[in-house]
């Protein structure tokens, strides 16, 4: 999934890992979800059983993987990481599930992209900690039941609407992560700046937060770009000018929109005269996958009131015209 800043490389991933909070107390924002998860984990601890299965949904970079790691860490259990695209056959899932140790936390990212046949196997596994393995084909086929060690599944998805109901129903707890408020992002940045040893006055912190698109991952990434800028220019600390200079280089505008966000808005406003336009058409116009537009670009544009969703398609809101500097009347006449 595309991000603001530079392409993800190994070092970036390592730093991202180092900045991850390891406890619910350190996890910034999402207060309601945190409270609910704390209760879930406490109950499991008191009863000495694995926690209920957890489904986390929301756009990329809002903390789903981090929460899965926290579940494992807080309950003192090992964590196994997998993802929907890696589970292309029921056999892949069977191998994964049968190798879990008792109480292990299994994280499946992008769970909506798992193979259908695996989904069905997962229903039984989640409910009864058991799977049926099919051997042979045709009339001679038989199924062999296999007991599994009890585990906690943490599923993450950017598109919870794509999950079949029977799967969704088997999660004991479902949470939708929301974009973060600027004050919350400031706290994320403050914490990360301290860890990275970057000196950042409150105004500079606020400026990075404003440009972070409501997303902690982007906040951390922009902070690293500011740090690079300070290193290269031999500066000890960042002021607003340094933040602006660093971030302008990366095509992140004053309200945090990146190149793709602006391309989508621009197509919507200029080319389709404000819409309504179908998602597929919009995706083709900007040369991007419809799925990316729907799960990454659109949620934020809707959240900040730039884009609306109607039964006939996507429409541009007045704020979008203002941001692009296009008179709204132009589209209405078109």
In the complex with ligand ADP, the residue whose CB is nearer, 29 or 84, is 29
Tell me the per-residue interface mask from 46 to 85 with ligand ADP, x by CB under 6 A, - otherwise.
--------------xxxxxxx-------------------
Q: Is 303 annotated as a binding residue?
A: no
Active-site residue flag, 22: no
In the complex with ligand ADP, the residue whose CB is nearer, 61 or 275, is 61
Closest approach of ligand ADP to the CB of residue 224, in Å: 11
Q: Which residue is nearest to ligand ADP (CB)?
A: 63
Q: Is 66 annotated as a binding residue?
A: yes
Q: Give the whole-angstrom CA distance, residue 154 versus residue 65.
A: 9
Q: Token pair of 54, please?
A: 């957890």
Name the H helices within 129-232: 165-169, 182-196, 202-210, 216-232
Q: According to the binding rule CB under 6 A, does residue 216 interact with ligand ADP? A: yes
Among residues 157, 220, 292, 295, which is the contact residue for ligand ADP, using CB under 6 A? 220
Active-site residue flag, 65: yes
Q: Is 61 annotated as a binding residue?
A: yes
Active-site residue flag, 217: yes
Among residues 20, 73, 168, 210, which is the contact residue for ligand ADP, using CB under 6 A? 20
Q: What contacts 310, CB < 8 A, 6 or more positions away? A: 275, 276
Tell me the per-residue interface mask from 21 to 40 with ligand ADP, x by CB under 6 A, - otherwise.
x-----xxxx----------
Q: At what angle do helices 240-248 and 202-210 cross, to 10 degrees?
A: 30
Beta strands in the chain (DSSP E): 54-57, 79-83, 105-109, 130-135, 142-147, 152-157, 173-176, 307-310, 313-316
Look at the chain and count its residues: 334
Q: Is 19 annotated as a binding residue?
A: yes
Q: According to the binding rule CB under 6 A, does residue 103 interact with ligand ADP? A: no
Name the H helices within 162-214: 165-169, 182-196, 202-210
Angle at 13 between CA 10 and CA 17, to 5 degrees: 140
- Enzyme catalytic residues: 64-65, 109, 158, 217
Q: Which residues bind ligand ADP (CB under 6 A)?
A: 16, 19-21, 27-30, 60-66, 156, 188, 216-217, 220
Known binding positions for Mg(2+): 65
């Amino acid at each position: 999934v595309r991000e603001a800043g530079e392409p993800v490389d190994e070092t970036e991933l390592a730093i991202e890992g180092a900045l991850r909070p390891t406890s619910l107390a350190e996890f910034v924002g999402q207060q309601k979800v945190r409270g609910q998860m704390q209760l879930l984990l406490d109950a499991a601890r008191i009863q000495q059983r694995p926690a209920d299965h957890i489904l986390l949904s929301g756009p990329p970079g809002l903390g789903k993987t981090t929460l899965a790691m926290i579940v494992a860490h807080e309950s003192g259990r090992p964590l196994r990481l997998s993802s929907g695209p890696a589970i292309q056959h029921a056999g892949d899932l069977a191998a994964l599930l049968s190798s879990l140790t008792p109480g292990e936390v299994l994280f499946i990212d992008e769970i909506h992209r798992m193979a259908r046949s695996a989904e069905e196997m997962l229903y039984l596994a989640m409910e009864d900690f058991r799977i049926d393995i099919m051997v042979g084909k045709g009339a001679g086929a038989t199924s062999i039941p296999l007991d599994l060690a009890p585990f906690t599944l943490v599923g993450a998805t950017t598109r919870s609407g794509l999950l079949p109901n029977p799967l969704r129903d088997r999660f004991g707890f479902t949470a939708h992560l929301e974009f973060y408020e600027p004050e919350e992002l400031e706290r994320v940045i403050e914490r990360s700046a301290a860890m990275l040893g970057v000196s950042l006055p409150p105004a500079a912190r606020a400026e990075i937060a404003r440009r972070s698109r409501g997303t902690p991952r982007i906040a951390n990434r922009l902070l690293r770009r500011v740090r690079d800028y300070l290193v290269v220019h031999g500066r000890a600390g960042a002021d607003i000018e340094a933040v602006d200079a660093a971030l302008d280089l990366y095509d992140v505008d004053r309200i945090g929109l990146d190149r793709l966000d602006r391309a989508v808005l621009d197509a919507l406003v200029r080319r389709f005269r404000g819409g309504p336009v179908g998602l597929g058409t919009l995706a083709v116009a900007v040369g991007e996958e419809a799925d990316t537009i729907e799960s990454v670009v659109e949620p934020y544009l809707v959240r900040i009131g730039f884009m609306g969703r109607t039964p006939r398609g996507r429409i541009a809101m007045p704020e979008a015209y203002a941001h692009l500097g296009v008179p709204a009347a132009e589209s209405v006449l078109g």
